Amino acid sequence: MKTLCLITARGGSKRIPRKNIKDFCGKPIIAYSIEAALTSGVFDTVMVSTDDDEIAGIAKKYGAEVPFMRSADTSNDHATTSDVIMEVLKKYEDMGMHYDIAACIYPTAPFVTGVRLRDAVRMLAGDAELSRQFIPDTVIPVVRYSYPPQRAYEICDGILKFRAPEYMDARSQDLTPWYHDAGQFYVFKTDSFIKTKKITAGKILPMVIPETEVQDIDTEEDWALAEMKYRLIYKSVSYHDVSSS
């Protein structure tokens, strides 16, 4: 069974210029994704898909492969992650290289660790108790909503109303927990992906992770919060090194 890790990192970030290689707590943020993949010890290939020469150079510096550059079709604002994955898998197939399992990691995911990636691959391969109940196609890290979304409000014509009035008097602890995508990585079987062209198709196993390991980074404010969280939690100790040992 051959495993591939691909990190998506185009050069055209709009909201945070040069986002994928911007300094995060002392090194380019993409370095955290690369190092987590390498220290996981479960990937035959760790590569970066990019259209940018500078990003390619930094990726190679931190140990990733860049065997080919991303095409114009998958570098524009309308290309999806699935488009990029399909292009990468096809190029490898053209090179005579087939991978059974692949992981797609986002380049701005500094809280990803080698341990999480290793566990996800093992879950997909059937090493987890839950995955023995059925054959999974994908593993996705998710985080629980900190406040029950069933008790959300909406504003209608200036009036604040419960979106779901049936939960108005429900206690938080009595409501079923809801989860959302942690926005860090996906681990999936390539045959299933090629067939459906979707990461979230088939049977999906959840990897529930704590809020301390999750932070969306879409704005400069998000970036500042992520660095504050990283320094507060990990201080001078490299969490990636500790958790991967």
Return the pLDDT at 128.
52
Q: Is 240 helix (H, G, I), strand (E, B) or coil?
A: helix
Return the pLDDT at 127.
63
Residue whose C-alpha is closest to residue 82's, from 180, 1, 195 = 195
The two structure tokens encoding residue 16: 């945070």
What are residue 179's DSSP bridge partners?
A: 144
Q: Dihedrals φ, ψ of 163, to 5°?
A: -70, -35
Those residues with Cβ within 8 angstroms of residue 78's Cβ, 6 or more apart along the chain or in another chain: none
Hunting for tokens 């959300």 — which residue is that?
152
Predicted TM-score (pTM) of this structure: 0.90
Q: What is the pLDDT of residues 119-141, one digit of tens each?
A: 999 999 876 555 456 789 999 99
For residues 182 and 196, give the distance between their C-alpha atoms in angstroms, rounded to a whole number: 22
Return the pLDDT at 242.
42
- Tell me which residues of the chain have a pLDDT lower than 50: 131, 236-245
The answer to whether the beta carbons of residues 98 and 193 sit under 8 Å apart is no
Distances (CA, A) of 91 to 53, 67, 206: 19, 10, 29
The two structure tokens encoding residue 120: 């996800």
Return the pLDDT at 129.
56
Those residues with Cβ within 8 angstroms of residue 223's Cβ, 6 or more apart along the chain or in another chain: 16, 22, 24, 217
